[in-house]
Structure 1
Amino acid sequence: MTITTLPLGDGDLHVRQDGPRDAPALLLIHGTASSSVSWNGLVPLLTESHRVIRVDLPGHGRSAEPAGGDYRVPHQARRVGEALDRLGVGHAVAVGHSSGGLTATALAEQRPDLVTALALVNTGPGMDAFIAQETAAIDPSRWPPSDEQLRMLASTGFGRADYEIPQEFMDVLRHLSLGTFAATTRAAQDYLEQRRLPDRLKVLGKPLLVIFGEDDRRWRSSSAAGYLAVPGATVEMLPGVGHTPIVEDPPRTAALLLAFTALHS
């Protein structure tokens, strides 16, 4: 693994690279309140045939909060595109988990020359698919939350309520600022409310793979069918898996990604 900190205009961006540098590039983008470590179980299954690039989005993991406080999805995408330019990546298949799929989509909108294909993993197509969470209110003045509250926040990210949440997820949440958490959540909602993802993707003309855990407790899994409005899109449902197939079932997720990238890298 190569770890790089790229100084960009409004803050440093943390990047991890694995696999041969001359292999086709595969960009992995995490969701809100997560980081590049969420892909740890998946990366070893991808590196034989790909240069795997992971970023920590602004304010997440080891990346700095943006100096201007701009967490809008298009701004996040511009920063990721700039990072790939700095790394000398000319083309990449972009993979986004959860709200990371919004950033991947925005990157393809801005840089159709850079993004050759898109894969979205449990990314809700619109806010009508969102499942409202019944969690205890967290006092902003007492951030970060307690371990019990952190587990409550993270638990819906997995199919079973008793799923043992990986420690790295807890650590990322614990070190996330309240400002970043609130701003990125709001930014994702704004992006989806401006235009549903299938409508954005239809005009891009990019190959699209959608992977969805059937037991997702954050987004209605049935909503994945909405992506079939995108010409040529493939939708794959994973039984027995929740919102985070990249952690809950890396082998099945990797197999789907590798079959897709073999055609479109």
Structure 2
Amino acid sequence: MHVVHDGPRTASPLVLIHGSGASGASWGPVVEALAGRHRVIRVDLPGCGRSPAAAAYDVPHQARRVAELLDDLGLRDVPVVGHSSGGWVATSLAEQRHDLVGSLVLISTATSLDALQPQPFILRALLAPPFGPLLWPRRSDAMIRRGIGATMVRPVEIPDDVVADLKNTTYRTFRKVLRCNGAYVSERSTPDRLADLDVPVLVLFGAADPRYYPATARRYDAVPNTRLEMLPGVGHMPMLEAPELTSELLLGFTVAAADTPTP
């Protein structure tokens, strides 16, 4: 996988996992603040951004790829942050390799498929047949920005590298990723999976998320050792829409989790 390291190599590590079809570039606005305290490790999952295509895209397989990376780096007990479907990859990583994950942060991660709202036309056109296979290869920068913007609640400047990396993801790969993500959360909901994990969890969810019904995030309240923060006036992309607040909450949680004695 393509990996980007930010911050001092001697600092405590922090892994960031992007959502479907995106890349590590989507974390850009929060990296500077996080790298002031952490060794930030941003991955491009298989077939996304600058990582090559893979033979399989199921969530447990993607999690194993992240586990291989952490093993190669000799890291253990790491805070792992996932945005949207990246939260499912982070959860699967904790399910498979509890030794690697010290705490979890899920940002805009759906509890289940019934949390999905009716999607704006631009997203339906880009993501689904019959228009998707035709439009996807012809996406302009402006069209990509419109698609990302449809997941937010106010105009936000979208970094050029986010757009460029999204162009590298093929339509076929994106559809495979979506199907595999759906299979993972259909098998068992995110709160049910978290309930079996003995790790501290922070959930950040935009109170105005247009992609997933914000009210469904309250299902996380029933999960032990889990704290839910609803972000007012924020949609599906807190890293882009509210980078200062997102960074502050992430740093506060990672410090507190690191100071919590292991049972």
TM-score by length of 2: 0.90
| Number of the residue aligned with 2:29 | 41
Q: Does 1:50 align with 2:3?
A: no
> What aligned pairs does 1:64-75 form with structure 2 within 5 A after superposition?
64-66=52-54, 68=55, 70-75=56-61
- 5+ long unaligned stretches in structure 2: 126-130, 259-263
| Number of the residue aligned with 1:90 | 76
Q: Secondary structure at the match of 1:53?
A: strand
**Amino acid in the other structure paired with 2:119:** Q
CA distance in 1: counterparts of 2:209 and 2:78, whole angstroms: 28
> Which of 215, 226, 236 is residue 233 of structure 1 equivalent to?
226
Q: Secondary structure at the match of 1:212?
A: strand
CA distance in 1: counterparts of 2:199 and 2:60, whole angstroms: 18
Q: Secondary structure at the match of 2:137?
A: coil
CA distance in 2: counterparts of 1:89 and 1:135, whole angstroms: 43
Q: Does 1:212 align with 2:205?
A: yes
| Compared CA separation, residues 258 and 139, structure 1 to 2 (3 A) | closer
CA distance in 1: counterparts of 2:238 and 2:191, whole angstroms: 21
| Compared CA separation, residues 245 and 139, structure 1 to 2 (3 A) | closer
| Number of the residue aligned with 1:106 | 92
Shift of 1:18: 1.3
Q: Secondary structure at the match of 1:65?
A: coil
Runs ≥4 residues deviating over 4 A: none
Moved more, 138-147 or 91-100: 138-147
CA distance in 1: counterparts of 2:156 and 2:35, whole angstroms: 27
CA distance in 1: counterparts of 2:229 and 2:67, whole angstroms: 27
RMSD over equivalenced CA pairs, Å: 1.5
- Structure number with higher helix proportion: 2
| Compared CA separation, residues 252 and 142, structure 1 to 2 (3 A) | closer
> What aligned pairs does 1:1-150 form with structure 2 within 5 A after superposition?
13-66=1-54, 68=55, 70-135=56-121, 137=125, 138-147=131-140, 149-150=143-144
| Compared CA separation, residues 49 and 219, structure 1 to 2 (3 A) | same
| Number of the residue aligned with 1:175 | 168
Contact 1:198–1:227, Cα closer than 8 Å, also in 2: yes
CA distance in 2: counterparts of 1:224 and 1:62, whole angstroms: 31
- 5+ long unaligned stretches in structure 1: 1-12
Q: Deviations over 1:221-247 (max 9, x none)?
A: 111111111112111111111101111
TM-score by length of 1: 0.90
| Compared CA separation, residues 250 and 164, structure 1 to 2 (3 A) | closer
| Number of the residue aligned with 1:6 | none
Identity in percent = 46
| Number of the residue aligned with 2:215 | 222
CA distance in 2: counterparts of 1:142 and 1:207, whole angstroms: 42
Task: Count the aligned residue pairs.
Answer: 250
